[in-house]
Structure 1
């Protein structure tokens, strides 16, 4: 195979996605969020939540997974309409992108497929939120043509305020 197989997620993928997501949080957010919160993340609980969310996926939300040559799920991305203060608008939003850190090219393949799908759907921009201190993710998105647009928003994790910055990319060019 020349690269990972990117395909629509199924309910059977929830456990794998949760494992990748929890490991991703523990790695990417170490030092940026309370360690007690990261240590308390549970794959089984996350998978249960993910199955419930997957069963009622809103219209327009797309979940993708990437498989390696052996058919193992090694990445997950989710995108859909941009959530602007509880309402939706014409832009797209990348809600999540997590990969097995030991793999190369998985994030790129998932992001490219998300961007392609949103552009084909006629969405003019893709936006995403990234934790301000996550330098690795910020470099990745900048490499992919996203730019911080000046919007910032904090969210709370276990009593700690975690600042996020918004990135945007034009999909019409």
Structure 2
């Protein structure tokens, strides 16, 4: 059982640990190993501190708290591109769970809270981007009612092209 609350500056180190370890676990075999091996919690925490302290940011960060402190993190806000439909669309920017706790409902809990908050802010739909080759994440989002809407974007990571699919659902 976890409790969800807004992220505080004191959570940055724990969130960075969740994010970096999450990348290294979830994207093994998808993202080049050189990139994953070069990721550090210290670098991520430095970037996160700078981003977290920006005044006027429109995103919301939530953490899931378990017995050992933060065990999951989600970040969401207004959609950052051309919206995939006529409705007002929010976006889930990132969702990571401590790798040893995946499959225990923490992600569903965080995603449900993000959906409730987006809906309370008058968003009618939610979108997100997921790596095409991340089958586990795609199944998770599909079980939560998301569907690929045909939009794609490519990113380059240590010389490898990674294709992301946009997923969309009505709130």
Q: TM-score, normalised by structure 2?
A: 0.93
2:13 corresponds in structure 1 to 15
User: Of the candidates 62, 65, 69, which is equivalent to residue 63 of structure 2?
Assistant: 65
Counterpart for residue 107 of structure 2: 107
Q: Which string of whole-angstrom CA distances, capped at 9 and with x for unpartnered residues, describes residues 60-118 of structure 1?
A: 310000001x2510000000000016xxx931000000001222111011000000000
Corresponding pairs, count:
165
Deviations 1:129-160 (A, max 9, x none): 00000000000000000011111111111221
Structure 2, unmatched stretches of 5+, are none
Structure 1 counterpart of 2:46, from 44, 48, 52: 48
- 1:162-173 → structure 2 map (5 Å cutoff): 162-171=162-171
Compute the displacement of 1:59 (Å).
3.7
Partner of 2:158: 158
- Give the distance between the partners of 1:37 and 1:58, measured in 2 at CA: 31
- Distance across 2 between alignment mates of 1:57 and 1:157: 30
**1:100 & 1:65 partners in 2: Cα distance?**
11
Tell me the equivalent position of 1:80.
77
User: Per the alignment, in what secondary structure is the counterpart of residue 63 of structure 1?
Assistant: strand
Q: CA RMSD in A?
A: 1.3
Aligned to 1:118: 118
Distance (Å, rounded) in 1 between the aligned partners of 2:90 and 2:6 = 17
Question: Cα distance, 1:58 vs. partner?
Answer: 4.2
In the superposition, the TM-score normalised over structure 1's length comes to 0.92
